[in-house]
Copies of this chain bind each other. A is one copy, B any other.
Amino acid sequence: MTSEPVVPGDLRDLLERPLFGHLATVRPDGTPQVNPMWFRWDGERLYFTHTTARRKYRNLQANPNVAMSLVDPENPYRYLELRGAVERIEPDPTGAFYVQLAERYGRPMDAPPPDAPDRVIIVVRPTRATRH
């Protein structure tokens, strides 16, 4: 059995380029939150760096559903929304994934971030895509 790819082929470049994804989560009080985030895409899953000390982490503990909106900066009418849920959250205690993302986004670092002990990798599997 094969499944339809979630991401339309002609928009896949938006996930491969180091663009900012606007990641929406829901707070425990039912109101939305949305922030620009670095991410990596492996063809099936999105990976975000985050820390256990921040609000979005607490939001995701209570409600694992997310949505991410992306636009092509050279043509804002090429647009993709992915929706899905957190599949798992992995510790990143050395900050290695943060350093990897920083390099992808043109901000190479000499040392891990000072909050490395609290760093986690949020892994999301998108199940729905919407385009313009």
Report A's interface with B, CB cutoff 8 A.
20, 22-26, 30-36, 63, 65-69, 71, 73, 76, 79, 81, 83, 130
Contact = CB atoms under 8 A, between A and B. Distances in A.
Residue of A33, A63, A71 with most chain B CB atoms under a 10 A cut-off: A33
A90 B25 CA distance: 27
15 contacts: A20-B76, A22-B22, A22-B24, A22-B34, A23-B34, A24-B24, A26-B32, A30-B65, A31-B63, A31-B65, A32-B34, A35-B81, A35-B130, A36-B76, A73-B73
State the oligomeric state as a number of copies.
2
Given A26-B26, A76-B20, A34 B81 contact: yes
